[in-house]
A and B are shown apart, each in its own frame.
Chain A
């Protein structure tokens, strides 16, 4: 069965510093995708970054980068130069090819607080 584990219920970071949000996953699929979403207090789900299981390079999108370690089954999100607007819930998620391919499995989330 597919599973996403986010072990940090809450994280604090000082403005302008970098922060790493942890994510580990479990799957028997060979082909899968890993995603990170941001959910601000307004509630919408904002797509941040995607990593394919066969991608050799770590994904980057602006201040977001995904530290993909396939052997360890981890997909940590790194946010550089944190801003106050980064305060939100962050969800790690996964979709696999052999288990439907359409069910996005989400972790429980990490709430990030950025301090001024």
Chain B
């Protein structure tokens, strides 16, 4: 059973370009979570999606960032008009259902390292 897959693993973009990060959850998982890790910091929650629905996006910057999880295909985190401050590692996690109560596991992907030049 393949784990959470993210691609690309490394992405370099010039300021002003768009970055598209993809996440394929584990087989059978319908819940996806995106986290951002700035250099020398812990991960910060960005957004929680189920198929075709954004459940919570309280951690997403108000502008330039969007996320989707279509009925078919991977979840996409899209960053428009990237700036140097967007340089970070972006992690996706998935779970088979809501991991309420603190129980259960969110399975993390290997991350995408975005560098904005």
Q: Please give, as numbers and ranges, the residues of chain B lying within 8 Å of A43 by CB-CB distance.
A: 89, 110-111, 113
A52 to B31, CA, bound (A): 21
Residue in B93, B99, B107, B109 whose Cβ sees the most chain A Cβ within 10 Å: B99
Report how far A45 CA is from B45 CA in the complex, Å: 14
Q: What string of 1s and 0s marks CB contacts (under 8 Å) between B85-117 and chain A?
A: 000010101010011111101111111010000
Interface size on A, residues (CB 8 A): 30
Q: Let me know if A101 and B101 touch, CB within 8 A.
A: yes
- B binding-site residues for A, Cβ under 8 Å: 31, 33, 35, 41-45, 48, 55-56, 58-59, 89, 91, 93, 95, 98-103, 105-111, 113
A93 to B102, CA, bound (A): 11
Cβ-defined partner of B102 (8 Å) among A31, A37, A47, A107: A31
Q: Is the CB of A108 within 8 A of B41?
A: yes
Sample of 12 more A-B contacts, CB < 8 Å, known A34-B102, A104-B93: A4-B42, A32-B102, A33-B103, A43-B89, A45-B111, A47-B105, A53-B102, A101-B98, A102-B31, A104-B35, A109-B41, A109-B42
Contact in complex: B43, A106 (CB < 8 Å): yes
Given A97-B102, A101-B102, A103-B48: A45 and B42 interface contact (C-beta under 8 Å): no
Residue among B33, B55, B56, B103 facing the most chain A CB atoms (10 A cut-off): B103
The residues of B that contact A102 with a CB separation of less than 8 Å are 31, 33, 48, 55-56, 95, 98-100, 106
- CB-nearest residue of chain B relative to A50? B105
Q: Which residues of B contact A29 (CB under 8 A)?
A: 102
CB distance from B85 to the nearest CB of A (A): 18
Interface string of A69-94 (1 = CB under 8 A from B): 00000000000000000000001011
Give me 24 A-to-B residue pairs in the complex whose CB atoms sit less than 8 angstroms apart, sorted by A's number.
A31-B102, A33-B101, A43-B89, A43-B110, A43-B113, A44-B111, A45-B43, A45-B108, A47-B105, A50-B105, A93-B43, A97-B102, A101-B99, A101-B100, A102-B95, A103-B45, A103-B48, A103-B56, A103-B58, A103-B59, A104-B106, A105-B45, A107-B42, A109-B41
